[in-house]
Amino acid sequence: MAVGLAASAPKTVGVDSRPGDRSRHYRRRVDTALDVFVFPEPWWDLRGQGVPEAERRQHLLDEARAELGPQHPLATGDLDVLADLTRQDEVLFRCSEDAFAIVHLTYAGALDPFVRVRLFDSWSAVRDEIEAMAEDW
């Protein structure tokens, strides 16, 4: 089960040489938009490998699973904690390659019907929401 995401591994693109093809085999790094995104204030980027980030990721993951309850789809799947908007108790999770969730935690420590979950089906949609939330802060 994934606990956190430190800037995901770089994607590569390769071109295979074929007989009669003059192109050489090569690989180059292709950064995804998420890899290079800088979270605006007051978001705390938790993709880092430091101890504070790892501890915070684990704490937020445990709290989200407790508040969502064992039957919630997000509580049972692999989640990566990407960032935390501490002043508003919002946490950004990566649910899969192209699915994200912003979860508003209540810090009840147990199943809580007031937990708000917003799902996004693309990085561009969640990025726009993050930037809007930062502007409203």
Q: Give the pLDDT confidence score for residue 86 in this predicted structure.
A: 81
Question: pLDDT tens across 8-17, in order?
Answer: 333 333 333 3
Q: Is pLDDT at 124 greater than 70 in this prediction?
A: yes
Q: What angle do CA 7, 47, 132 make, to 5 degrees?
A: 100
Q: Is pLDDT at 133 greater than 50 in this prediction?
A: yes
**DSSP per residue over 112-127, as a string?**
-TT-EEEEESSHHHHH
Q: Give the pLDDT confidence score for residue 22 in this predicted structure.
A: 38
Q: Is pLDDT at 27 greater than 90 in this prediction?
A: no
Mean pLDDT value across residues 32-37: 83
Indicate the pTM of the whole model.
Answer: 0.74
Strand ranges, E, within the chain: 11-15, 26-30, 44-45, 80-85, 90-96, 99-104, 116-120
Torsion of Cα atoms, 79 then 98 then 129 then 41, to 10°? 60
Mean pLDDT value across residues 85-111: 91
Q: Is pLDDT at 6 greater than 70 in this prediction?
A: no
Distance between CA atoms of residues 86 and 53, nearest Å: 13
Question: pLDDT tens across 47-78, in order?
Answer: 999 999 999 999 999 999 999 998 888 888 88
How many Å from the N-terminal Cα to the C-terminal Cα in the chain?
33
